[in-house]
Amino acid sequence: MTSSSTSEPAATPRPAGRGVLRKMTARGRDEAHRVASPLELFFDLCFVVAIAQAGIQLVHAVTEGHAGEGILNYAMVFFAIWWAWMNFTWFASAYDNDDALYRVVTLVQIGGVLVLAAGVSRAFEDHDFVVVWLGYAIMRFAMIAQWLRVARSTEGAERTMALRYAGGVLLCQIGWLGLLLLPESGRPWVFLVVAIAEMCVPVFAEKDFTTSWHPHHISERYGLFTIIVLGETIAAATVAVKSAVDEHDALGELLPIAAGGLLIVFSAWWIYFVVPIHGHLRSNAQAFLWGYGHYLIFSSAAAIGAGLEVAVEQAVGKAHISTLAASAAVTLPTALYLLTVWVLHSRYFKVGIAQQAVLPTTALLVILCSFLGDWAVLAAGIVSALAVAVGVTLTARMVVREGAGSA
């Protein structure tokens, strides 16, 4: 992650070969043909395991009528997953030297997220965060080791920046002990305080020196993770529909949910990838907002899948909630996703009030679909698909007008 700062490292090409150990120096921000590595893709897939576990527990909480408690636990667990993923992503964009030690430490981080995933159910059901804390600690201490390698390989302001990162991460990890030591009533406050402290670490660490993250590489990494999360959403909804059909033979009730869910996910993909964002990320301040804002994009995208599972269970009589509550489990995260993508992506590429109003209006209409009973999810899917169609039409008309004007 980065913030506004006064200096950047000089462009350094990636070293040839793959030694066991080599200096961890900055890669060039304008390095050509920079793409996600196989290790990064493997990293993402393993992190989605933890997201899936958080989604499953959110479904259980909502269907049992404990939506508020479930959402709070989901927000806390998802923050740990997202923050660890994001820290690694921006670090790797600047310092991935692909030597053997770098790979081993990255695999340790993957092991940490799997430990975290194993503790998600206990965190939700028993409010026991020991295993979640341990998994997060493994990931964070691995990150400290990476920053200490940078400090050892660099000097001056860059070395100071790396040491600030290492120290800040360590202090925050100590702060998370509050989840284990304080009474349950105080845990939300611990989460709020330490989460803010975590997000302040990059601001403090990079106040005099900016890491050389690569705009195209970063946008690709975020895009790939968005695809993986949306894929997990489809997988979760598919399993829910299959189970309901096998057990209850309720295909008539489930078809509108399945169709609406597909339309929502397809529209979510289209809306996210309709504009190339990497050029906009060359501004440090915008990159900062964009990177942090994806907490809402990722968490809402995953929550859509959980909401579809809730809607399926309610439709076959397995959930102890109303139709309105089950519909809102889908429509509210969908609306949040649409609004966040508009704030972080789309609004920079829209011209005129009509184009700017498409996604905010769609988000409002999706929320209103919650009141349509058994047809709420299908209606939300149709509204989302219409938003894509309207956006494409308005863009095409603008292109035609610009072409006619230049002619």
pLDDT score for 278? 67
Gyration radius of the chain's alpha carbons: 22
DSSP state of 10: P
pLDDT score for 11? 46
Q: Assess contact for 230 and 29: CB atoms under 8 A.
A: no
- d(C-alpha 286, C-alpha 4), whole Å: 10
Other Cβ atoms less than 10 A from the Cβ of 18: the count is: 12
pLDDT score for 16? 45
CA atoms within 13 A on the CB side of 72: 14
Burial 299-318 (b: 16+ CB within 10 A, else e): bbbbbbbbbbbbbbbbbbee
pLDDT score for 343? 87
Other Cβ atoms less than 10 A from the Cβ of 203: the count is: 15
pLDDT score for 276? 73
Per-residue pLDDT reduced to its tens digit, 84-121:
999 999 999 999 888 899 999 999 999 999 999 999 99
Per-residue pLDDT reduced to its tens digit, 171-212:
999 999 999 998 888 889 999 999 999 999 998 998 888 888
- What is the pTM for the complete model shown? 0.87
Distances (CA, A) of 152 to 24, 30, 219, 405: 8, 24, 29, 58
Nearest to 56 by CA among 239, 220, 211: 239
Left (φ > 0), alpha (ψ -120 to 50) or beta: where does 249 sit? Answer: left
Kindly state the percentage of the chain with pLDDT values over 70: 87
Domains of the chain: 38-213 (no CATH), 216-406 (1.20.1410)
pLDDT along the chain (407 residues), means of 10: 45 51 82 87 92 92 90 93 94 91 95 94 90 95 96 92 96 94 89 95 90 87 92 83 72 84 92 77 73 93 93 86 93 95 76 78 95 93 92 62 50
On average, the pLDDT of the chain sits at 86
- d(C-alpha 47, C-alpha 114), whole Å: 8
